[in-house]
């Protein structure tokens, strides 16, 4: 009798957890983590391209050492910021984004330097690297968008009744989004 009660209790608890959204929350949480991995993957692709780009530019623009050093340092800072997918807080994502923005800024300065060297701009290795970098920047945008979509679905789900009760009991917290930089709503002023 006691054994039957235990078995029925276990089955009932399993049914309650599956119907109360726990399993769905786990799936969605894992989807957010997996999408975060994709975001990191495309950022890593960009950082992997940078040494080749710097070496190609270095051969043509040796007296631009300050710019090249800035790119290398920004790359180092960007790769130093690691985030655990289980701790996707607004602060951690902002820290990650600031490091990546520093790298983007350094790359922009490098591309300005490149404009002064027509032979470099015509170099096939450089053109290939530049095309790969542009493609990677597009991938970053796409993966960030997918991450925000997965995060939005997860956040909406854990806030709905009755899932919010299960989320509170088991510690499923709201995840942070990638957000645009402050001031990015204004177009940059270009002066010639």
pLDDT tens-digit series, residues 48-99:
988 888 888 877 776 677 888 888 888 888 888 888 888 788 888 888 888 8
Q: What is the C-alpha separation between 192 and 23, in angstroms, rounded?
A: 58
In a domain, 177, yes or no: no
What is the number of structural domains in the chain?
1
Q: What is the C-alpha separation between 114 and 62, in angstroms, rounded?
A: 12
Position of tokens 């490098």? 110
Radius of gyration of the chain (CA): 23
Query: Per residue in 2-18, pLDDT tens?
Result: 777 677 766 656 655 55
DSSP 8-class letter at 186: S
In a domain, 32, yes or no: yes
Distances (CA, A) of 57 to 24, 37, 130, 153, 163: 50, 30, 11, 43, 54
Element (H, E) at 162: none
Q: Which domain holds residue 142?
A: 24-170
pLDDT at 123: 78
| 184: pLDDT strictly greater than 50 | no
pLDDT at 39: 92
In a domain, 159, yes or no: yes
In a domain, 189, yes or no: no
Task: Find how far residue 104's CA is from the centre of its chain.
Answer: 14
Rounded to 10 deg, the angle between the 22-60 and 163-170 helix axes is 70
In a domain, 1, yes or no: no
In a domain, 65, yes or no: yes
pTM: 0.74
pLDDT at 13: 63
In a domain, 179, yes or no: no
Give the CATH number of the domain where residue 119 resides. 1.20.1440.20
| 192: pLDDT strictly greater than 50 | no
Rounded to 10 deg, the angle between the 22-60 and 124-159 helix axes is 160
Mean pLDDT, rounded, of the chain: 82
What CA dihedral angle connects 76, 78, 84 and 90, to 10 degrees?
150
The tokens describing 128, both together, are 């290939």
In a domain, 69, yes or no: yes
pLDDT at 148: 94
């Amino acid at each position: 009798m006691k054994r039957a009660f235990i078995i029925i209790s276990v089955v009932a608890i399993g049914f309650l957890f599956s119907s109360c959204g726990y399993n769905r929350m786990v799936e969605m949480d894992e989807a957010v983590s997996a999408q975060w991995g994709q975001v990191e993957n495309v950022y890593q692709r960009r950082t992997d391209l940078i040494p080749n780009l710097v070496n190609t530019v270095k051969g043509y623009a040796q007296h631009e050492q300050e710019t090249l050093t800035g790119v290398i340092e920004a790359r180092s800072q960007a790769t130093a910021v690691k985030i655990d997918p289980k701790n996707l807080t607004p602060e951690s994502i902002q820290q990650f984004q600031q490091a990546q923005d520093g790298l983007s800024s350094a790359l922009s300065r490098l591309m300005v330097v490149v404009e002064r060297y027509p032979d470099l701009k015509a170099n096939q290795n450089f053109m290939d690297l530049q095309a790969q970098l542009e493609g990677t920047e597009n991938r970053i945008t796409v993966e960030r968008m997918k991450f925000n979509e997965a995060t939005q679905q997860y956040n909406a789900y854990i806030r709905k009744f009755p899932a919010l009760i299960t989320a509170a009991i088991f510690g499923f917290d709201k995840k942070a989004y990638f957000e645009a930089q402050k001031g990015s709503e204004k177009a940059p002023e270009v002066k010639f």
